[in-house]
Amino acid sequence: MKMTHRIAGCVATLILLCAVSVFSGDGDKSKPVIRVGVETVFVNVTVVDPLNRCVTGLNQSAFRVFENKIEQKIAFFNDEEAPVSVGILFDRSGSMSTNNNITAARAAIVRFLQSANPEDEFFLVTFNQSPTLVTDFTHESGAIANQISLKQPSGRTAVFDAVYMGLQKIKQATNERKALILITDGEDNSSRYNPAEVKELAREMNVPIYGIGEQGALGYGRYDIEEIVGMTGGRAFFPNSFNDLDYYIDLIHAELRNQYVLGYVPSNKAHDGKWRKIQVKLDAPEGLPRLIVRAREGYYASK
């Protein structure tokens, strides 16, 4: 296969997500489909340059995948767009009334939803002292936008409970590409689940989490959010003001629309239920700057 490469500026628009797709054997590449073997592991990979611009056009030979430091043979490769399933976790606690944060957050999510494709689906969880599934999975992005506009800020903040609920709900997604988007401006002060429990659930799932939290309002909770999203292959942003939300929403959207999907059959055939660490390395074409690769940290083997 002839290698081509180009650095795309990751056209800024909105949010969607990550996935796992390979083409059907009939040669029809019009619609990616999934062929998942019992032992197949899929890894969603994002490549960016030092300026946070997505790098597209790399082919399979540019990637190397390691499981527990042992290189694996890449059996599947895809970088085509596909329908996505996105869970929006929206903070409506009392602190969101500060500096008009609730208005800026609403506008950012509405803008995101306006970029939806017909086969995309979304659900909405809002949270203050407890999370609530406000809108179940729907292809009608306008339904999500309408519900967000109705929610008024009040109460305390249960960030970790909201993430836990979102991870449980995303299991019901009909699209193979999935992600959670978390927007919050406050420190968790009301959750029943602790960070360790949320991290454990996040490690079990191949679902990237993207979080945006206000810099000044988060204390130690910032590090928990960073650790949770990092292990999923997602990303966390902490702007000084929610007035900058559009910029970060655009970065997330561009990143999720420009992902590579790698699939491999593990050389370790043991069904031991143990955690296996994944590392993706890049043999970038000459002439490109130092590139940054992001992917999930690993997975639990089947038992």
Domain boundaries along the sequence of the chain: 6-81+257-300, 84-255
Phi (first) and psi of residue 112, to 5 degrees: -60, -45
CA angle 98, 104, 110 (to 5 degrees): 145
**Distance in angstroms (rounded) separating the CA atoms of residues 219 and 300:** 31
Q: Topology of 84-255 in CATH?
A: Rossmann fold (3.40.50)
**Residue at token pair 């929206």:** 90
pLDDT by residue (tens digit) across 231-270?
999 989 988 888 889 888 888 888 878 889 999 999 999 9
pLDDT computed for residue 297 by the predictor: 93
- Amino acid, single-letter form, for residue 142: G
Range 25-38 average pLDDT: 40
**Is residue 97 classed as helix, strand or coil in its secondary structure?**
helix
Which structure tokens are listed for 223? 């590090």
pLDDT by residue (tens digit) across 101-122?
999 999 999 988 888 889 999 9
pLDDT computed for residue 266 by the predictor: 96
Q: What confidence tier does 88 reach under pLDDT thresholds 50, 70, 90?
A: very high
Q: Topology of 6-81+257-300 in CATH?
A: Immunoglobulin-like (2.60.40)
Is the model's pTM score more than 0.75? yes
Judged by average pLDDT, the poorest of 21-30, 64-73, 152-161 is 21-30
Which structure tokens are listed for 132? 């609530």
In this structure, the chain runs to a length of 303
155: Cα separation from own chain's centroid: 27
